[in-house]
Amino acid sequence: MSTIGSSLEQEVVAKVPKGLFVDGAWRDASGGATLAVEDPSTGEALCEVADATPQDAMAALDAACAAQAEWAATAPRERGEILRRAYEAVVGRADELALLMTLEMGKPVAESRAEVLYAADFLRWFSEEAVRIEGRWATAPNGGMRMLTMRQPVGPCLLITPWNFPLAMGARKIGPAVAAGCTMVVKPAKQTPLSMLALAQILDDCGLPDGVLNVFTASSASATTGPLIDDPRLRKLSFTGSTEVGRQLMGQASRHVLRVSMELGGNAPFVVFEDADLDAAVDGAMVAKMRNIGEACTAANRFHVHASVADAFTEKLAARMDALKVGRGVEDGVQVGPLIDDDQRGKVRELVEDALERGAQAVVGGRELDGRGHFYAPTVLANVPGEARLLREEIFGPVAPIATFEREDEAIAAANKTEYGLVAYVFTRDLDRALRVIERLETGMVGLNQGLVSNAAAPFGGVKQSGFGREGGAEGIDEYLSVKYAAIRAG
Ligand code: NAP
């Protein structure tokens, strides 16, 4: 997309419904409260959206519960075709949705467009999976009975999503829930609700029956979702967000032994062996580190580079990082947008200062950028000592800390030295080593010689404190299905 004028920006924001989407209708919050959505590149308010009360949230759950039985009985093909139409509609409106996303979240428009297409892909993938929900028929080993298994929708779901991927994190929950025959209440992050509101309207336009999808926006996540999690009619909670909040929600969910899926934080190691193609490693590093301004759960959080190639890798990476154009994501050629807010920028600043105080060197960047918006300079830190906080904590910003290793075992131990286990990146040209290392990494996903793992057809998810459950792939729909088994007396 070329230069975007402010009238176009206003137009795409104006087009989005700002209310609560409950039982197929848009309504204001009871009491009429609203909350502001801000453009992180300017700090200015874009618009106001409804600020739901706990009663509004409960009305959304009521609608989901009322629609559940009929929706579960809807033909799988019909469910799939709604998703397929939504896929076409999202792709058809990709430019407009990308601009909207950039305005509320900050990432460059080209990256927003990539997210819109990635989100659409979940709708297409699960439109295809809706008709493949199968069971089994078997004879018991002793021949004494027949065993029938079937997979049925779990029931009404609560889906809570973060601000960093405002459309994709929702689409990869809504897609399988719709395909499986579940109804749902979605609560997007308060900082980036517009993409989700736009998607709700698209799904409505594409024929999703009233009550199947309900969306509310709220200034208080805990006050609005708490009563829903406590309600025994809710059967499933799927959460994407921080490990800290995930832990709290798991505690709440234990009361009614709710099914839960948790897509939580990450601390991805990016390991470069001495035999790696260094140019490919730097290309991969730019994607793994800088996609989404570093605000991704899959972001390479720390680089472990073999000592013999560390200087060359650092030099090449620093040159690429230094050349990046930082600015408002809607402007032509911008490759790095602002961080989501000043708290996030403050956290990045603190982690970088800690590393520098402990002896790391800033090869490029290492500072905030002046002016409006929450900008931080793309940064490469060399010789980062093992005790630096940013090797342990999720940075969520454009900062690449580089540490070195000498032996393969040492690299694997360093990579696994974290309570997180979402993804790891490995660069080597030695196939035996690659397989050995992949097997020993304690993560749910590995990128081998590439810096991007996300794909609607692949099972995305973590181990350890990065959570459990998988989104996408053949596995993704299982999160929304329960297995029922019937023991049948053989005649
Ligand atoms: P967050 O603070 O945990 O918030 C995520 C969502 O949970 C938001 O909708 C938030 O609402 C809501 N929330 C916050 N506190 C809550 C509570 N007490 N009860 C119920 N809901 C609550 O995370 P974030 O800062 O938005 O997102 C960044 C985190 O998400 C990072 O740690 C990142 O690694 C992780 N993430 C993981 C994946 C994955 O697939 N593993 C993908 C993307 C992001 P409000 O907006 O109102 O605060």
The rounded Å distance from CA 169 to ligand 1 centre is 11
Mutate to test the pocket of ligand 1, among 192, 228, 245, 374 (most ligand atoms within 8 A of CB): 245
Check whether residue 345 and residue 429 sit in a common domain: yes
Domain identity same for 192 and 298: no
Six token digits for residue 394: 């999720």
Pair (114, 167) in one structural domain: yes
Q: Could you tell me which of 224, 233, 289 has the C-alpha nearest to residue 256?
A: 233
Predicted local distance difference test score (pLDDT) of residue 301: 98
Q: Quick check: is 337 in a domain?
A: yes
Whether residues 233 and 284 fall in one domain: no
Distance 245 CA to ligand 1 centre (A): 7
Query: Is residue 402, in this structure, part of any structural domain at all?
Result: yes
- In angstroms, the CA 418 to CA 267 distance is 7
- Selection from 375, 324, 310 nearest residue 349 by Cα: 375
* The pair of three-digit structure tokens given for residue 210, joined into one six-digit string: 């009233």
Residue 461: inside a domain: no
Kindly state the helix (H) or strand (E) to which residue 117 belongs, with its residue range.
Answer: helix 109-129
Mean pLDDT score of the chain: 97
Whether residue 366 contacts residue 377, with contact meaning beta carbons closer than 8 Å, is answered with yes
Q: Point out which residues pair with 361 in neighbouring strands.
A: 382
Reported as a single tens digit per residue, the pLDDT across 96-127 is 999 999 999 999 999 999 999 999 999 999 99
Looking at the structure, tell me whether residues 105 and 53 fall in a common domain. yes
Contacts of residue 491, Cβ cutoff 8 Å, sequence gap at least 6: none
- The answer to whether 45 and 38 have CB atoms below 8 angstroms apart is yes
- Alpha-carbon distance 275 to 427, whole Å? 8
Rounded distance, CA 156 to CA 144, Å? 37
CB 421 within 8 A of CB 316: no
SS3 of 335, please? coil
Residue 462, domain member (yes or no)? no
Which stretches of 130-263 are DSSP H helices? 168-180, 194-205, 221-229, 243-253
CB-based burial, 226-238: b 16+ in 10 Å, e otherwise: bebbebeebbbbb
Q: How far is CA 134 from each of CA 151, 467, 474, 491, rounded to the nearest angstrom?
A: 7, 27, 12, 24
Q: Which atom of ligand 1 is nearest to the CA of 225?
A: 20
Provide the CB-side half-sphere exposure for 34 (13 A, CA): 12
pLDDT band at 453 (very low <50, low <70, confident <90, very high): very high
CATH number, domain containing residue 338: 3.40.309.10
Region 151-177 average pLDDT: 98
Residue 219 resides in a domain: yes
Pocket (CB within 6 angstroms of ligand 1): 160-165, 169, 187, 189-191, 221-222, 225, 240-242, 245, 248-249, 263-266, 297, 394, 422, 462, 466-467
Quote the pLDDT of residue 2. 37
Nearest to 404 by CA among 303, 316, 315: 303
Number of structural domains, the chain?
Answer: 2
What pLDDT, in 10s, does the model give residues 285-324? 999 999 999 999 999 999 999 999 999 999 999 999 999 9
Residue nearest to atom 35 of ligand 1 (CA): 241
Centre of ligand 1 from the C-alpha of residue 149, in Å: 35
36-79 pLDDT per residue, tens: 999 999 999 999 999 999 999 999 999 999 999 999 999 999 99
CA 415 vs. chain centroid, Å, equals 22
Counting from 1 in the atom list of ligand 1, the atom nearest the Cα of 248 is 18
The answer for residues whose C-beta is within 8 angstroms of residue 22's C-beta and 6 or more apart is 56, 59, 60, 63, 214, 216
What is the Cα–Cα distance from 196 to 215, expressed in whole angstroms?
Answer: 8
In this structure, are 449 and 473 located in the same domain? Answer: no
Sign of the Cα torsion 81, 67, 198, 249 reads negative
Distance CA 76, CA 79 (A): 5
In a shared domain, residues 59 and 205: yes
Side chain identity at residue 8, one-letter code: L
The Cα 305–Cα 396 span in angstroms is 21
pLDDT at 114: 98
At residue 1, the pLDDT reads: 37
Pocket test for ligand 1, best of 104, 160, 224, 298 (most atoms within 8 A of CB): 160
Q: What average pLDDT score do residues 419-434 get?
A: 98
Phi, psi of 411, rounded to the nearest 5 degrees: -65, -45
Per-residue pLDDT at 491: 72
Residue 474 lies in a domain: yes
Residues 361, 259: one domain? Answer: no
**pLDDT of 4 higher than 50:** no
- Torsion sign over Cα 183, 185, 188, 194: positive
Ligand 1: distance of its center to the CA of 472 in Å?
19
Q: List the CATH number of the domain containing 135.
A: 3.40.605.10
Domain that holds residue 400: 268-417+423-455
Helix (H, G, I), strand (E, B) or coil at 400: strand
Q: 150: which strand partners?
A: 484
Question: Which atom of ligand 1 is nearest the CA belonging to 190?
Answer: 46
Assess contact for 428 and 449: CB atoms under 8 A. Answer: yes
In a domain, residue 56? The reply is yes
Judgement on whether residues 12 and 87 belong to the same structural domain of the protein: yes
pLDDT of residue 225: 98
**Residue pLDDT, tens place only, 176-187:** 999 999 999 999
Residue 113 lies in a domain: yes
Positive or negative torsion for Cα 193, 191, 264, 299: positive
Same domain, 480 and 429: no
Marked catalytic residue, from 206, 297, 408, 479? 297
**Residue 457 to residue 461: CA distance in whole angstroms:** 13
Question: In angstroms, rounded to a whole number, what is the distance separating the alpha carbons of residues 222 and 225?
Answer: 5
The answer to whether residue 182 is catalytic is no
pLDDT score of 490: 83
Residues 262-287, mean pLDDT to the nearest whole number: 98
Q: Among this protein's residues, is 263 annotated catalytic?
A: yes
Q: What pLDDT was estimated at residue 408?
A: 98
pLDDT digits over 219-267, tens only? 999 999 999 999 999 999 999 999 999 999 999 999 999 999 999 999 9
* Rounded CA Rg of the chain: 23
Which of 367, 427, 418, 364 lies closest to 394 in space, CA to CA? 418
State the Cα angle at 244 between 18 and 391, rounded to 5°. Answer: 115
Percent of the chain with pLDDT over 90: 98
Q: What is the DSSP string of 251-294?
A: HHHGGGT-EEEEE----EEEEE-TTS-HHHHHHHHHHHHHGGGG
Nearest to 463 by CA among 265, 292, 300, 269: 265
For residues 380 and 253, membership in a common domain is answered with no
Pairing of strands 259-263, 236-240: parallel
Q: Do 110 and 200 fall into the same domain?
A: yes
Region 185-211 average pLDDT: 98
